[in-house]
Amino acid sequence: MSLSEFYSSLGESLDEVLGRLGMESRIVKYLGLFVSDPSFSELKEAFANNDVKTAFRAAHTLKGVAANLGLNTLSKSSSELTEDLRPLAFTENSKALLEKVELDYTVAVEGIKQLS
């Protein structure tokens, strides 16, 4: 899969990211780093440990990183989770919001792994 196909498959635009970050090779490099970034696993772990402070921080980080790489669907779902956790308390929505983030994250990571 090419980089442009990857972004299309997610419903995003490569051109928007290229406009900001300049070169395809660099975008590929950052996507690789994104896969090894621990924020998502930290988020899951924080939920498991009932650690809302870490969960908020991880969601916030994920939102920023995804936005920079043009992974806007993931950035949006992370943003909703971030706002939900901002008062530093889990709500009845938190679980569902996390599931949406997990879905978007998994789709993105699977796609990145298939990049040629």
- In the region spanning residues 8 to 47, those forming contacts with other proteins, defined by CB under 8 A, are 19-22, 26, 30, 33-34, 37, 39
Residues 92-111 that bind other proteins (CB under 8 A): none
Of 64 and 111, which has the nearer Cβ to other proteins? 64
Q: Does residue 77 bind other proteins (CB under 8 A)? A: no
**What span, in angstroms and rounded, lies between the C-alpha atoms of 114 and 74?**
18
Nearer to other proteins, 7 or 56 (CB): 56
The alpha-helical segments, DSSP class H, found in the chain are 3-9, 14-21, 24-36, 39-48, 52-68, 72-85, 94-113
Q: CA-based angle 106:62:36, to the nearest 5?
A: 60
* Of 2, 4, 25, the residue nearest 14 (C-alpha): 4
Q: How far is the CB of 91 from other proteins (least distance, A)?
A: 18
Per CB under 8 A, residues contacting other proteins are 19-22, 26, 30, 33-34, 37, 39, 54, 56-57, 60-61, 63-65, 67-70, 75, 79
